[in-house]
Amino acid sequence: MDPLSPAALHADVHRLLSAMYEDYLRGDPAAIDARLAEDVTIFDSAADALVTGLDELAALRRSRASSPSASSSPAWTETALTIADLGVREIGDVVVATWWLRVDGTDPQGVAVSPELSRNTAVLRRGEDAALRIAHLHEDVRQEAGPTA
């Protein structure tokens, strides 16, 4: 991997993650997938099985869209995703990133819910085009979103 200063690498990873979350809020899975390695593995916070590759990720997305709970009104809608405490370190040819993700949202009436908080780990590597892509992502929800007290 081309050596970058720690600050430049941190900024590169932050840009990638921020853009991926913006893609998510826009509902653009193709843009998200462009930020992932084709052989990506994901421990998704809402699925038990390890997702391996973009085809399995697409299948997971389809299953969510066709599930009975998806047809009813969602309990809440995400409105903002915020990265906090991003740590980035280079280990050989990979980059390991850790961060907290705060997911803000509103209920069906537009009232803010208490945020969801998750801790995340990603392993990233550069492709032949020198772009940094996520090769592994692990999401761990620590606080579910819900009604405010």
Q: How confident is the model at residue 4 (pLDDT cuts 50, 70, 90)?
A: confident
Counted domains in the chain? 1
Q: Is residue 110 included in any domain, yes or no?
A: yes
Residue 95: count of CB within 10 angstroms of its CB: 24
Per-residue pLDDT of 14-69, as tens digits, reads: 999 999 999 999 999 999 999 999 999 999 887 889 999 999 999 999 988 776 65
Identify whether 1 is part of a domain.
no
pLDDT in tens, 70-116: 545 568 889 999 999 999 999 999 999 999 999 999 999 889 888 99
**Residue 117: CATH number of its domain:** 3.10.450.50
Residue 16 sits in which domain range? Answer: 6-143
SS3 of 20-42: the string is HHHHHHHCCHHHHHCCEEEEEEE
* Per-residue confidence (pLDDT) for residue 138, from 0 to 100: 97
Residue 149 lies in a domain: no
